[in-house]
């Protein structure tokens, strides 16, 4: 049995007693669980009553059939399918400003929510307040100082190193352009170099109200050189304008409509058709299903959750489907049609280790880490499993009007009371009231844990456990799938579950996942060999074949593959680096330098390409060009100790 529930799974309906309650019922119904009984209105199904006689069984069966019929009518009413017209690729986005005229109250309340604060200009008043004075962070392992300072109406971050006498060895400073994140965890800052956006080294963490290194910066000096990919901005802004095949490069302006947060159309889809319809029928009554604009509340549970999964689910690999970009996803369509999410499967042999790690803070890279992403975590819960997948994110989360802090405990307890009541809890009410905060259902059953790899931050477990440390259920463990050996596709569901995964998608997934598990390299290379024949002109396949040939020291083949890859559109940083390396191995150093020059023109802030070009000029004894390239490199990447040392020796020679 795979992870996703099927009609043949017995665990789908009934589970061990540890989770409490005999049956879970659809959350859309007016129902309660009382102790061991399930109550539908005034009708009670008892789980602990004596075995009924034949006549009682007939009467009870009749009652159940009536109840199930009621379920069908309620579901049919609440989730009547709507064919949304704005899911079509050609429908235009119009910006959230176009929505605020008619939905002013919703627009105003949404911009008070965390999602409404997912991005802002770095010189916004709320950001300037975080820097009342110069702030310095020192990392002993890197021996680097990092500062954030306010200059006039702007914020700047600086990285520098000191020698034994306290003199600065180097300094790198950049103006902060945007703050990206949210008020729950914190904000990371973005700098702009030409058309490229990069992450800054320091982030602001809201729980501790302090500045510290951004995630991943504590073990490696990345400085201001980590590109901000489209997938990142698409989840914090919603309307980025990337340049194709240049991750981290954006048009000017970098965001459509210059919206500084998640907008209406991120969840409701493009608004062009809705605006046209409203202009023709301005007196249209609210509440009626409108096919011109997606309403997530009227979507099926799977499609509604896909809207959230796009940004709230992780894994070992995120792969765009062939020919797609992250911006091709339209709410109301299956996320899988745009991107596929993969994880290395959990096997039953890992049960003991998984259960042990459940009681410990998550560690980035551990087997439990992917389970902590929200959608997958929710699907591990009995609530989700026994609702036949009908439990959805918006069952509990109000996007436009989330509860304020003082009302959160009461609000989420009411959400739990959709299916449960006070008598469902085995802990005495008096004991629950002594807790801080008192009678907090989510606090006990959805505990917070530190975020793996993100300091000063906690996240809520969505597995909805009966008790802390509760073992994982049987359906948490995965079995192999024939067309995807060694991996599990998290979001291949519904009608897509029976369709084969495109071979290019599988190739990219195995390429990412074999970093986590080297044993998966067999499947990657086996598939790559198949694609060498079936897709011989695909630029991705050619680039992969070229890298494989370099590893096998088949440099002539590598050059042929990589030249064709560039000709066919593989205008990626790695393709220039690999082709330059293969040509150098063959002694064609001058041609290698020309390829790297093209790479610098395409990727002007690539440290790897620029460093390789310096070395090629030195090999060719083109010292004026080497000196010029070295100065350019050190000016862009002064944190590189090795290249600074070379420049110092060159300058000493020239004195």
Q: What does the pLDDT look like over 106-156, one tens digit per residue?
A: 999 999 999 999 999 999 999 999 999 999 999 999 999 999 999 999 999
Out of 37-46, 318-327, 583-592, least confident range? 37-46
* Under 8 Å between Cβ of 614 and 585: no
Secondary structure of 108-128 in HEC code, one letter for each residue = HHHCCCCHHHCEEECCCHHHH
Out of 50-54, 563-567, 620-624, least confident range? 50-54
Q: Is 507 exposed, middle or buried (0-12, 13-18, 19+ CB in 10 A)?
A: buried
Q: What is the pLDDT of residue 370?
A: 65
> Tokens 């990219």 appear where?
508
Q: What does the pLDDT look like over 435-480, one tens digit per residue?
A: 999 999 999 999 988 877 788 888 888 999 998 888 988 888 887 7
Is residue 96 pLDDT above 50, yes or no? yes
DSSP reduced 3-state for 254: strand
* Under 8 Å between Cβ of 467 and 379: no
Enumerate residues 6+ apart whose C-beta is below 8 A from 471. 351, 355, 358
Q: What is the pLDDT of residue 14?
A: 29
State residue 634 phi and psi, 5-degree precision.
Answer: -65, -35
Long-range pairs for 285-294 at CB < 8 Å and ≥24 separation?
Answer: 289/80, 289/82, 291/82, 291/83, 291/84, 291/85, 292/84, 292/85, 292/86, 293/84, 293/86, 293/268, 293/269, 294/84, 294/86, 294/87, 294/267, 294/268, 294/269, 294/330, 294/331, 294/332
Structure tokens given for 152: 């006039």
Q: Buried b / exposed e across 230-240, counting CB within 10 Å, b at 16+? A: bbbbbbbbbbb
Nearest to 634 by CA among 603, 602, 609, 610: 610
Q: What is the pLDDT of residue 286?
A: 66
pLDDT interval class at 20 (50, 70, 90): very low
Q: What is the pLDDT of residue 28?
A: 34
Out of 14-23, 355-364, 606-615, least confident range? 14-23
Instruction: Report the distance separating Cα 150 and Cα 147, nearest Å.
Output: 10
Q: What is the pLDDT of residue 356?
A: 87
Nearest to 47 by CA among 26, 85, 21: 21
Q: What is the pLDDT of residue 64?
A: 38
Question: Which domains can be identified in the chain, with CATH numbers?
Answer: 29-78 (no CATH), 116-261 (no CATH), 536-654 (1.25.40.10)
Q: How many CB atoms lie within 10 A of CB 650?
A: 15
Output the CA angle 509-515-518, nearest 5 degrees: 100
Instruction: Report the distance separating Cα 588 and Cα 581, nearest Å.
Output: 10
64-91 mean pLDDT: 61
159-181 mean pLDDT: 97
Q: How many CB atoms lie within 10 A of CB 290?
A: 19
Q: What does the pLDDT look like over 525-538, one tens digit per residue?
A: 999 999 999 999 99
Find the helix or strand (DSSP H, E) in which 505 lies: helix 503-516
Instruction: Give the DSSP letter string of 295-346.
Output: -GGGS-HHHHHHHHHHHH---SEEEEPTT--GGG--TTS-GGGTEEEEEPPP
Is residue 384 pLDDT above 60, yes or no? yes
State residue 155 phi and psi, 5-degree precision.
Answer: -110, 145
pLDDT interval class at 53 (50, 70, 90): low
* Under 8 Å between Cβ of 200 and 193: no
Predicted TM-score (pTM) of the model is: 0.85
pLDDT interval class at 371 (50, 70, 90): low
569-573 mean pLDDT: 93
Instruction: Report the distance separating Cα 597 and Cα 574, nearest Å.
Output: 14
Q: What is the pLDDT of residue 477?
A: 84
DSSP reduced 3-state for 430: helix
């Amino acid at each position: 049995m795979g992870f996703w529930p099927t009609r043949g799974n017995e665990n789908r309906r009934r589970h061990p007693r540890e989770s409490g309650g005999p049956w879970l019922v659809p959350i859309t119904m007016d129902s309660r669980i009382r102790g061991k009984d399930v109550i539908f209105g005034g009708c009670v199904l008892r789980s602990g009553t004596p075995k009924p006689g034949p006549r009682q069984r007939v009467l009870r069966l009749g009652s159940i059939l009536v109840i199930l019929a009621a379920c069908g009518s309620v579901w049919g009413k609440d989730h009547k399918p709507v064919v949304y017209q704005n899911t079509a690729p050609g429908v235009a986005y119009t910006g959230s400003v176009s929505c605020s005229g008619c939905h002013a109250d919703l627009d105003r309340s949404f911009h008070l929510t965390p999602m409404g604060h997912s991005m802002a200009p770095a010189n916004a008043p709320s950001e300037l307040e975080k820097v009342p004075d110069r702030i310095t962070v020192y990392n002993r392992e890197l021996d680097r100082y990092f500062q954030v300072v306010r200059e006039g109406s702007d914020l700047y971050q600086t990285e520098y190193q000191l020698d034994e006498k306290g003199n600065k060895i180097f300094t790198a400073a950049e103006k902060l352009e945007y703050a990206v994140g949210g008020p729950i965890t914190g904000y990371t800052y973005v700098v702009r170099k030409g058309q490229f956006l990069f992450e800054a080294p320091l982030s602001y963490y809201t729980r501790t109200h302090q500045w510290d290194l951004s995630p991943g910066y504590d073990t490696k000096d990345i400085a201001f050189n980590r590109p901000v990919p489209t997938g990142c901005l698409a989840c914090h802004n919603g309307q980025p304008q990337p340049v194709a095949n240049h991750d981290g490069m954006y048009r000017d302006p970098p965001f459509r409509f210059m919206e500084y947060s998640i907008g209406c159309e991120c969840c409701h889809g493009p608004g062009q058709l809705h605006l046209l319809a409203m202009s023709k029928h301005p007196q249209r009554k609210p509440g009626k299903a409108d096919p011109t604009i997606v309403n997530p509340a009227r979507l099926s549970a799977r499609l509604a959750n896909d809207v959230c999964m796009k940004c709230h689910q992780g894994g070992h690999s995120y792969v765009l489907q062939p020919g797609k970009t992250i911006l091709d996803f339209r709410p109301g369509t299956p996320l899988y049609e745009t991107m596929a999410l993969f994880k290395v499967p959990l096997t039953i042999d890992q049960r003991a280790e998984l259960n042990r790690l459940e009681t410990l803070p998550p560690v980035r890279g551990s087997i439990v880490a992917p389970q902590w992403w929200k959608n997958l975590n929710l699907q591990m819960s009995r609530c989700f499993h026994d609702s036949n997948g009908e439990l959805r994110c918006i069952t509990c989360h109000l996007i436009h009007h989330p509860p304020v802090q003082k009302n959160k405990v009461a609000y989420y307890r009411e959400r739990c009371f959709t299916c449960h009541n006070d008598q469902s809890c085995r802990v005495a009410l008096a004991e629950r009231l002594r807790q801080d905060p008192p009678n907090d259902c989510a606090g006990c059953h959805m505990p917070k844990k530190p975020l793996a790899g993100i300091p000063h931050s906690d996240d809520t477990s969505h597995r909805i456990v009966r008790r802390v440390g509760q073992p994982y259920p049987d359906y948490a463990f995965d079995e192999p799938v024939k067309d995807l050996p060694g991996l599990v596709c998290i979001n291949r569901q519904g009608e897509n579950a029976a369709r084969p995964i495109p071979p290019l998608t599988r190739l990219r997934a195995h390429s990412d996942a074999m970093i986590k598990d080297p044993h998966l390299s067999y499947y990657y290379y086996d598939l790559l060999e198949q694609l060498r024949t079936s897709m011989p002109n695909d630029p991705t396949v050619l680039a992969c074949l070229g890298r494989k040939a370099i590893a096998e020291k088949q440099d002539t083949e590598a050059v042929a593959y990589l030249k064709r890859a560039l000709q066919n559109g593989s205008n990626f940083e790695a393709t220039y680096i690999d082709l330059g390396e293969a040509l150098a191995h063959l002694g064609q150093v001058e041609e290698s330098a020309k390829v790297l020059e093209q790479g610098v023109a395409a990727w002007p802030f690539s440290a790897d390409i620029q460093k390789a070009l310096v070395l090629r000029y030195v090999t060719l004894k083109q010292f004026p060009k080497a000196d010029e390239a070295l100065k350019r490199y050190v000016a862009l990447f002064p944190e590189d100790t090795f290249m600074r040392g070379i420049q110092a020796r060159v300058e000493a020679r020239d004195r």
